[in-house]
Amino acid sequence: MDSSTLTFSPERCADLHNQLLAKATEHSLNIQIEQNLAPRFLDIAPEFAEVPSLDDMPLYRFLSLLHTTPPAVNGVVDLLTPFVYQPDPRTFWTDRVGHEPYFILLYGQNNGGSPVDGGIYLDIQSYKAVWHSGNSPRFPPPDQWLPLEVILQKSLDAWATGKFYWDVQEAAIKVRSWTDHDVEQSVAAFHRLVSSIELRMPFKGDEAHSHRRLEPLDAQTLAPFKMSAFATKFLTTANRPDFPFVAPGIRVFTPHLLDEIYGAEASESTRRTHWLGDEEDWPTLILPGIDSVPDDVGQSTNHDINSFDQSWGFGKFTVNRRSGLYIMPDIGNSDLVRLVAGSGLCSACEFQSPCRWGPPREPRLAEVFDHWTALVENGTWSVDANGVSTDHAWFTEYTFVAKPPPVL
């Protein structure tokens, strides 16, 4: 979907919303479906009834087509997806948007906080939308807003891939921490990265080097080490290249290197004894760096480096301070990543700007591999017979370039 060419269609957006509501309610018995959001909107904002040709106003047309379930006696509305509630005209204009009268909180967030503290906002002049949370006082600039259709389609896609599902025991719509689709995306993106590197490797004599792919790591080889289920699935599915470096100073595991790095980890290490995200979902090093982070990084004047050993820093979750690419799970997402540079900097794989279509998160593994492929293909990273030859210090020196953009 090319979001740059989409214009707001009340009919298309309403159809996507109604499909989402059907998914959210298909397992609920005796559920009542209404189509009265437009009159509920006029009850809250009666001044809109004076708008000439109200039926032609895009917002009103959109609201008049939406299906919803009735609010509870206490006024609480039901969920549309695991992340957002159904539209509630009473909360369209909140304190947050009081100074932005053309912004409405169309879908309030469901993240343990108040629904009116964030969610999906709609600009009723441009009809662009964006996810915005209470963590930031300012709305994103106009060029970061997306067609509402794109955001709704992303949620519908999550049903199609199994990311969203109906939990029979809890009788609620939930989010899976990872799916086979997530693994397939990550493996495909990794293979594209490897292929891009291979195409830029020097010839040997008159013949191009004939590359072969090595078998994935064996599950029995990984078994002695505490690794997240997603990381294990990725490492036992992705074919490995016959060269070591897939990013600056970032290598692919061999069985020997795996034992050398993980085998030296103490059984009582913080990484092994504390999980993040869902239960038994540990931070996991999947592509080791060539360096370990020095012990004196706390003296650095760079906050992103000296925080490594602070109580809130990532250092305690590394494997013996080893640099490299880590799976860094959170609740509901087991395929998020964190890159630890040899300097101790841990921000080189954060998004360049916040995620615009959903709750804030770190980049997914597939998104990072796609960005690394672009850095190979545009010549930012150099390649030699050992793979990517750019020095590992590049991640610290060119941190912003290393950050992937939030691409749909």
Write down the pLDDT at residue 6: 79
Q: What domain range is 232 assigned to? A: 180-402
Which of 140, 175, 210 terminates a domain? The answer is 175
When pLDDT is cut at 50, 70 and 90, the band that residue 71 belongs to is: very high
Q: Is the pLDDT of residue 61 over 90?
A: yes
Is 0.85 surpassed by the pTM of this model? yes
Q: With CA atoms as reference, report the closest residue to 386 among 266, 290, 271, 282.
A: 290
Token output for 264: 């030296």
Token output for 250: 């970032």
Write down the pLDDT at residue 378: 97
Across-strand partners of 207?
Answer: 204
Q: With CA atoms as reference, report the closest residue to 266 among 303, 314, 312, 321.
A: 321
**214-260 confidence digits (pLDDT tens):** 999 999 999 999 999 999 999 999 999 999 999 999 999 999 999 99
Write down the pLDDT at residue 279: 72
**148-178 confidence digits (pLDDT tens):** 999 999 999 999 999 999 999 988 999 999 9
Write down the pLDDT at residue 91: 92
Q: Is residue 159 part of a domain?
A: yes
Residues 229 and 372 in one domain: yes
Residues 247 and 105 in one domain: no
Mean pLDDT for 130-141 is: 85
Q: Is residue 376 part of a domain?
A: yes
**249-291 confidence digits (pLDDT tens):** 999 999 999 999 999 999 999 999 887 877 778 999 999 999 9
Q: Is the pLDDT of residue 99 over 90?
A: no
Q: Is residue 136 part of a domain?
A: yes
Q: What is the mean pLDDT of the chain?
A: 92
Contacts by 159-163 with C-beta closer than 8 Å and gap 24+?
159/20, 159/23
DSSP assignment letter at 214? B
Across-strand partners of 337?
Answer: 327
Query: Residue 252: what residue type?
Result: V
In whole angstroms, give the CA distance from residue 184 to residue 175: 18
Residues 346 and 241 in one domain: yes
**311-320 confidence digits (pLDDT tens):** 999 999 999 9
Which of 175, 203, 223 terminates a domain? The answer is 175
Write down the pLDDT at residue 354: 85
Write down the pLDDT at residue 277: 77
When pLDDT is cut at 50, 70 and 90, the band that residue 208 belongs to is: low
Residues 165 and 195 in one domain: no
Residues 142 and 201 in one domain: no
Write down the pLDDT at residue 211: 79
Q: Distance of CA 142 to CAs 103, 123, 153, Å? A: 12, 10, 20
When pLDDT is cut at 50, 70 and 90, the band that residue 41 belongs to is: very high
- Higher-pLDDT residue of 134 and 181 is 181
Q: What's the structural domain count of the chain?
A: 2
Residues 309 and 369 in one domain: yes
Residues 240 and 377 in one domain: yes
Write down the pLDDT at residue 2: 57
Write down the pLDDT at residue 96: 66
Write down the pLDDT at residue 204: 64
When pLDDT is cut at 50, 70 and 90, the band that residue 98 belongs to is: low
Residues 157 and 236 in one domain: no
Q: With CA atoms as reference, report the closest residue to 252 among 242, 264, 244, 260.
A: 244
Write down the pLDDT at residue 187: 98
Across-strand partners of 294?
Answer: none
Residues 215 and 132 in one domain: no
Q: Is residue 101 part of a domain?
A: yes
Residues 109 and 222 in one domain: no
Q: Is residue 408 part of a domain?
A: no
When pLDDT is cut at 50, 70 and 90, the band that residue 297 belongs to is: very high
Whether 206 contacts 390, CB under 8 Å: no
Residues 150 and 268 in one domain: no
When pLDDT is cut at 50, 70 and 90, the band that residue 209 belongs to is: low
Q: Is the pLDDT of residue 408 over 80?
A: no
When pLDDT is cut at 50, 70 and 90, the band that residue 117 belongs to is: confident
Residues 100 and 67 in one domain: yes
When pLDDT is cut at 50, 70 and 90, the band that residue 331 belongs to is: confident
